[in-house]
Structure 1
Amino acid sequence: MEAPKLQSYTEERRKKQGQFRGAAKGVSLTLLIAIVSGLIAKLPFFQIMGMMILSILIGMIWKNTAQVKQDYQQGIQFSSKVLLRAGIILLGFRLNLLDIAAAGYAVLATDVLVITFTMLFILLLGKAFKLDKQLSMLIAAGTAICGAAAIIAVAPIMKNKQEHTAIAVSCIAILGTIGALLYIFLFPYLPVSKYEYGVLTGATLHELAHVVAAAVPGGEESSQAAIVVKLGRVLLLIPVALVISLIVNRKELAEKGLKSLPVPWFIFGFLFTSFINTLHFLPDSIVSYCLLLSTYLLAMGMAGLGLNVNYKDFAKEGIKPAAVAVAGFAGLLALSPLILWIFRAI
């Protein structure tokens, strides 16, 4: 009897070791893609896209041109869920709440206006285009708040399909890159000051990388204004995520109570790290390391998302997601005169 038990134990152990090796290879694959993306992102044009966006695009290309072994899936899922959320938590070290507070009511008023209008407008567009409600919500969050990070934060609340997350991130990534290039080209011709130009880039572009790249022509004054306005939008990710959770899950909430409400707890981790950064509890060198680690974790998570997407998922949705994203961005740009009026009036 001992021999069969020993054999069974040995086989079970080998199986677990094989699963662990496969998972490790899956995580290693996402790390490799993140490293390659980081190298590409140093090139002039690709700096605008940034490491995270390149990671999801490379992951999608890899998935659809090379075979991804089945035993890699556990590691890929770990990157696209656990590491991605860890990256968002560490992203809080980019926020200094006192800088946002010092900027005054104009920043808060602008960011609330931008997020409220954009979210509602894109959701209405999604309804008009008969686009999936969850996908519309992801595109709305990405456009209104902070691009891919907002999409990732909102997706678990709605128990979204991974292909929807990848489609929304891809739409926002490409559109934000085009928007940043458009801003850089138009800067010499816009009838605004350098400060106002920074405000517009921070209030209307999708990713922080897009904002930073687009603000460069306006110099230091433009860059500071752009980053403060953009970080104000990032900060509002927390209340917006909670509101979305209440709205999306209202039926379940009415039936089962607050315990049934999906709460994105990692968002509170994001708030905690932003408080630590604001109070300067950690040396600048450690904060810089945490931000670098955040970038790689987010890129690995994006790579994991890309490695789970087939091109047929995009074909299934057709042109609707891109059309909604473009129209939503155009509507946000139309707010520019009102945004500038707020900053001139307050």
Structure 2
Amino acid sequence: MEAPSMRVQSERRQVPKREGKERGIAKGIAFTLMIAAVAGLIARLPFFEIMGIMILSILIGMVWKNTAGVKLDYQPGIQFSSKVLLRAGIILLGFRLNLLDIAAAGYAVLLTDALVIAFTMSFILLLGKVFRLNKYLTVLIAAGTAICGAAAILAVAPIMRGKQEYTAIAVSCIAILGTVGALMYIFLFPHLPITKHEYGILTGATLHELAHVVAAAVPGGAESSESAVLVKLGRVLLLIPVALLISMLVNRKELAEKGLKSLPIPWFIFGFLLASFVNTLAPIPEQVIAVLLLLSTYLLAMGMAGLGLNVNYRDFSKEGIKPVAVAVIGFAGLLALSPLILLIFRLL
């Protein structure tokens, strides 16, 4: 039997360890918050606003990791940001969706978004096989291109059970490509033989991030912006069934052997859906929604910073040019779908 004095000494030793761990978690979280805050300030600048706070956060985290390094005791807090806070941010992102607005737009929006996602996912998965790219990385690039950029990648990544490096590589590819795409749309807008409404539809259906869509739609005014955001939010809504489908396909062997219990279901996606239902059915003041979306943005940015702080540049060199090639060709294939997208809206 352990003596009382020994038990007291053991408890005294454990208390400083717990306090030290808690301080480490707090420091790591505070560090990712600092990076997100800096990214938020940079994102206000004219060019960088197209990239957005989330993309800038992961890039700053990666640069910091590979130049100054990260203290070991910060790691628990960084991991907390890149997992827990990131998923909380995705849940709050659901408050951006009003399902009645999407329903009021008719079948054209959902039909277009379903076509975009089905074609882009299939095309990029095929490209991944042609280029012999890692299948986990291929799926992440496909989700980011087809659905909603970094948010889709972050939602799908836990299902894939792949390395965090793959998530960072996919996010970086999508970030750069989406920024280039937004600038391209802004430059081409005056020369395109389409209406402002149709221009908004194309930006919403083909660009990666919501920030890219919003920035690219500005030259077309309010008419373009409204149609662009509506089509883009339809793609965001389809993140839920796509994530579940990916989970079933990627883990089909385990599903066949062990049943549904073995299936890694992204439960936070249902939180995202619940938030969208609440926003649709409950009379929430716009000011409250604005605060929740701002909180979502910073939680996601902190999560992205955490991902960046876990990435080494050598992880990028291992994959070479293949991820970039798959992302670029996949985006080009999506752009080639533009005439069909416009035809659907003209007919419906």
Into which bin does the TM-score normalised by the smaller protein fall? over 0.9
TM-score calculated relative to the size of structure 1: 0.99
Aligned match of 2:72 in 70, 80, 85? 70
Aligned to 1:205: 207
Deviations 1:231-266 (A, max 9, x none): 000000000001101101110000001111111110
- The whole-number CA distance in structure 1 between the counterparts of 2:96 and 2:21 is 36
Aligned match of 1:330 in 329, 332, 336? 332
Task: Say whether 1:54 aligns with 2:72.
Answer: no
Deviations 1:289-346 (A, max 9, x none): 1101000000000000000000000011111000000000000000001111111111
Deviations 1:26-47 (A, max 9, x none): 0000000000000000000000
Task: Say whether 1:120 aligns with 2:134.
Answer: no
Deviations 1:63-96 (A, max 9, x none): 0011211111110000000000000000000001
Aligned to 2:142: 140
- The whole-number CA distance in structure 1 between the counterparts of 2:60 and 2:69 is 14
Paired residue type of 1:40: I
- The whole-number CA distance in structure 2 between the counterparts of 1:103 and 1:115 is 18
- The whole-number CA distance in structure 1 between the counterparts of 2:326 and 2:342 is 25
Aligned to 2:179: 177
Deviation at 1:280, TM superposition (A): 3.2
Q: Equivalences for 1:1-346 in 2 at 5 Å?
A: 1-346=3-348
Deviation at 1:281, TM superposition (A): 3.4
Moved more, 44-53 or 277-286: 277-286
- The whole-number CA distance in structure 2 between the counterparts of 1:171 and 1:104 is 33
Q: Secondary structure at the match of 2:65?
A: helix
- The whole-number CA distance in structure 1 between the counterparts of 2:9 and 2:38 is 43
Deviation at 1:16, TM superposition (A): 1.1
Q: CA RMSD in A?
A: 0.8
TM-score calculated relative to the size of structure 2: 0.98
- The whole-number CA distance in structure 2 between the counterparts of 1:143 and 1:295 is 20
Deviation at 1:4, TM superposition (A): 4.0
Q: Secondary structure at the match of 1:147?
A: helix
Paired residue type of 1:100: I
- The whole-number CA distance in structure 2 between the counterparts of 1:338 and 1:53 is 30
Deviation at 1:285, TM superposition (A): 1.6
Q: Aligned residues: percent identity?
A: 77
Q: Secondary structure at the match of 1:160?
A: coil
Unaligned runs of at least 5 residues, structure 2: none
- The whole-number CA distance in structure 2 between the counterparts of 1:212 and 1:154 is 23
Paired residue type of 1:127: K
- The whole-number CA distance in structure 1 between the counterparts of 2:241 and 2:300 is 21
Deviation at 1:119, TM superposition (A): 0.1
Deviations 1:162-210 (A, max 9, x none): 0000000000000000000000000000111000000000000000000
Deviation at 1:282, TM superposition (A): 2.1
Deviations 1:143-162 (A, max 9, x none): 00000000011111111210
Paired residue type of 2:324: A
Deviation at 1:273, TM superposition (A): 0.5
Unaligned runs of at least 5 residues, structure 1: none
Q: Secondary structure at the match of 1:47?
A: coil
